[in-house]
Amino acid sequence: MKLKNKVAIVTGAGSGIGRTTARTFAAEGASVVVVDIEKKTADETVDSIRKRGQNAVFVRTDVSKGSDVETMVAQTIQKYGRLDILFNNAGIDIAKPIVETTEEEWDRTLDINLKGVFWGCKFSLPPMMDGGGGIIINTASILAHVASPNQAAYSASKGGIIALTRQIAYDYASDNVRANCISPGDVLTPMAKNFFDSCEDPEERMKFFTDRYPMKRFAEPSEIARVALFLASDDSSFITGQAIKVEGGFSIW
Ligand code: NAD
């Protein structure tokens, strides 16, 4: 039980990496605030956690809206009395080259992926500090480190997350807050499926990307969740300000 008596917010917990991480945190003893813009899928996450006798509650939030995120944190404190872990994980990917990206698409990507992290940290840090410290984990992407076809807004948003995380780690280390990123490669989630489905030849694209991995496969969500657990627990007590690549060697050649 690595997270016994801890309270964790997981955003984007209605699907993919967020859902698996919410279940992993709950299984390790945390009370989990399951956050998503989609009620139906988030309810399914909560139900699956409660069925195992563990603690979870849903708070519907659009992470791009400051007032929503402020309420998300207030409801967490109201329900559980403290906040120890924030996993800013909700995100979208609009895969386009820059000349085809509209202003609306650029703004939406940056608002959800990067401003969502800003809001989460801004409103979570005060209660974390009141409680003696905390852990922030932000989901970046391997596309913050290397280029890939047609990912203009997405890669910019993820690069911003790494810089912001480093800054938070620096500014709040003396308040006993650690902040780190995870930079996943391709993970088998609905987001990845939607991306490949939108390609002209999904099978060819899957093969193109799979072949770029020395391990010749994509990640399972649990392989990201286990790293999130490591970063959320005392096992990583001297790690802060880092972007941990979890990408099967994608960027080593
Ligand atoms: P997913 O699409 O399966 O899940 C994302 C969740 O975020 C969904 O439940 C969605 O409803 C929610 N969401 C979207 N907009 C939101 C908003 N405005 N407010 C609150 N919730 C919102 O995707 P995933 O693959 O699990 O991705 C999770 C994170 O991992 C994202 O930040 C993504 O960029 C990142 N990532 C994914 C991959 C991959 O290959 N799947 C690779 C690298 C990074």
- What average pLDDT does the chain have? 98
The pLDDT value recorded for residue 217 is 97
Sign of CA dihedral 11, 15, 21, 27: positive
First and final CA of the chain: distance in angstroms? 37
**Whole-number percent of the chain with pLDDT over 90:** 98
Sign of CA dihedral 108, 116, 247, 45: negative
The pLDDT value recorded for residue 228 is 99
Task: Give me the residues paired with residue 87 across strands.
Answer: 10, 137
Query: What does residue 26 show for φ and ψ, rounded to 5 degrees?
Result: -65, -40
Q: How confident is the model at residue 216 (pLDDT cuts 50, 70, 90)?
A: very high
Average pLDDT over residues 90-105: 97
Tell me which residues are annotated as active site: 154
Residues with CB under 6 A from ligand 1: 11-12, 14-18, 36-38, 41, 61-64, 89-93, 112, 139, 141, 184, 186-187, 189-192
The pLDDT value recorded for residue 23 is 98
Q: How confident is the model at residue 100 (pLDDT cuts 50, 70, 90)?
A: very high
**Cα of 157 to ligand 1 centre, how many Å?**
13
**Cα of 92 to ligand 1 centre, how many Å?**
5
The pLDDT value recorded for residue 112 is 99
Cα 117–11–248 angle (5° rounding)? Answer: 85
Residue 150: what residue type?
A: N
**Cα of 82 to ligand 1 centre, how many Å?**
25
Q: Are 56 and 49 in contact (CB under 8 A)?
A: yes
The DSSP 8-state label assigned to residue 248 in this structure reads T
**Can you tell me the distance from the alpha carbon of 39 to that of 72, in angstroms, rounded to the nearest whole number?**
14
Average pLDDT over residues 202-227: 96
| Structure tokens, 141 | 């992407």
Q: How confident is the model at residue 201 (pLDDT cuts 50, 70, 90)?
A: very high
The pLDDT value recorded for residue 59 is 98
Residue whose CB lies within 8 A of the most ligand 1 atoms, among 68, 187, 188, 218, for a mutation test = 187
